[in-house]
Structure 1
Amino acid sequence: MPATPLTTEVLAALRRIGCPVTTTDLLRLLNRGRATPLISDQVYRAADALRVRGSVRSLRTTANKRIRYWEYVAESPACTCRAQDTS
């Protein structure tokens, strides 16, 4: 499956951020300076497509399983944020 402009943008943002973020936080970051704002479903679908490709990891905390975090997958130190991998 080819990358779309949005999946490329989401991947670049997650790589820059360097730590797990929620879909809402990612949406806010991507909407800065954007003429036509994205909606959360667009960002979620792009992040989920990246998860399927193995470029991003989906995490949930034990405290609130409804909130999903996204993290760029790279050879880096293990996450210490108490989130659990749900990929």
Structure 2
Amino acid sequence: MRDKAFDICRTFLSGQWDNISSDDLIINKISIGLSNQLYICSLPDTHKPIGDEPRDALLRLYGQTIDGDDYKVTDSLITMLLSERRLG
């Protein structure tokens, strides 16, 4: 799990995220759903974010679905709207 989260964070985030090792990444499980897992990934205190890059990133890993991929789009839109309104 750690290596998968690390690879995803390094792929989509840059700056200090490129300067840490997998062992340095801080990962906390937020919740477990029936098919999804939610984690918060953070830079260690020894690495300050550069510019506007985030110190923390929310990572959702999708599991098996029974409804197809439609719910992923809806779920992503809801997550984006909550984020824009600083509600989640």
In the superposition, the TM-score normalised over structure 1's length comes to 0.29
Q: Which has the larger radius of gyration?
A: 2
In the superposition, the TM-score normalised over structure 2's length comes to 0.29
Higher relative contact order (CA 8 A, sep 6+): 1
